[in-house]
Amino acid sequence: MERLFEELGAEHRLIAAVLGSMERYLDAVERGEGHDRLDLFRFIVFLSDYADDIHHEKEERVLMKGMAKHGFSLLSGPLAHVKEQHERERGLFAALHRIAVDGGDLAEAVPAARELVAFERAHMAKENELLYPAARRELGQDDPAPLLAALDRFNAARDRDGHAAWLVRLAEDLTGRYPVVQT
C-alpha cells in the first residue's frame, strides 16, 4: 500500500521541481533575458502530460476509486473537490496552450503560467496534508494486493510506449536548464 503513496509523493516532488524551474524561466522572460520560446511548450507538455495525464489520473483511477470503496463519495466532499481542482488545472493548461500556440508576445504567458504554478502548489499541499493522510488511514485497513495490482496496470498502460519515462527525462532537462537556486 505504501508504494502507492511513495509514487504519488515522488510525482509531487518532480512536479514541484519543474514548477520551480518554470518560475526561473518566467523570471527570465520578464527580465527580457535570453530564453527559448520552445521551452514554454516543453513546460506545458510536461505539466499537461505528466501532472494531468499520469499523476491526476493515477489519483482518480487508483487512489480515489479505492477510497470510494470505503464510502467516500466521488460526487461530493473531498474527492469531488480534488476532481474539481484537477478540472481547474486542465483549464489553466488549455489557456497556456492557446497562448503558446498563438505566437504573440511571450510575456502574455507569464500571468497565466504564474497562476498555474501557484494553483498547482496549493493543490499539492492540500493533497499532501489532507487527502493522502485520510487515504492512508482508510486504505491501510485493506489487503493491499488489489490496489497495488490496479496501480501496476495503470503504470503499465501509461508507459506502454515509453512516454512516461520520456516525460521524466524532459523534467530533468528543464530543471537542468532552469535550476532553482537554493538559499
Examine the pLDDT at 108 and tell me if it is beyond 90.
Answer: no
Q: What is the pLDDT of residue 183?
A: 62
Q: Is residue 138 part of a domain?
A: yes
Q: Is residue 182 part of a domain?
A: no
Examine the pLDDT at 132 and tell me if it is beyond 80.
Answer: yes
Q: Is residue 146 part of a domain?
A: yes
Residues of the chain above pLDDT 90, percent: 52
Q: Is residue 92 part of a domain?
A: yes
Neighbouring C-alpha atoms within 13 Å toward the C-beta of 49: 18
Q: Is residue 122 part of a domain?
A: yes
Q: Is residue 84 part of a domain?
A: yes
| Mean pLDDT of all residues in 62-72 | 86
Q: Is residue 41 part of a domain?
A: yes
Domain enclosing residue 158, as ranges: 2-177
The mean pLDDT value of the chain amounts to 89
Looking at the structure of the chain, the number of domains it has is 1
Q: Is residue 62 part of a domain?
A: yes
Which residues lie below 8 Å from residue 31, measured CB to CB, with a gap of 6+? none
